[in-house]
Amino acid sequence: MDIARLSMNMSRSQTLQNVGVALLDNALEVQKIQDQGIVDMIESAPSPSLETLVNPSVGQHIDLTV
C-alpha cells in the first residue's frame, strides 16, 4: 500500500469520526432541549391539594335534592 492511499484512508476515517461526533453532539443538544421542555411542563402543572391527595373522591359528585 502506498503512502498516498494510506493518508487518504486515514483522512477519510478521521472525517467520518468527526461527522459521527458532530451528529451525536447535535442529538444530545436536542435531547437536552426536549428534557427541559418536559421539566418545565411538569413544574407548571397544578399540584393537587392536600385534601385531594388524602381523599381522591372529594369533589367528584354533586348531591342534588329536587
pLDDT at 16: 95
The pLDDT tens digits of the residues spanning 4-63 come to 899 999 999 999 999 999 999 999 999 999 999 999 988 887 777 777 777 777 777 777
CA distance 44 to 18: 39
Report the alpha-carbon distance of residue 27 to residue 23 in Å, rounded.
6
User: Over the stretch 9-26, which tens digit does the pLDDT of each residue have?
Assistant: 999 999 999 999 999 999
Whether pLDDT at 1 is above 70: no
Of the candidates 34, 35, 37, 54, the residue with the CA atom closest to the CA atom of residue 45: 37
- Domain ranges for the chain: 3-54
pTM value surpassing 0.85:
no
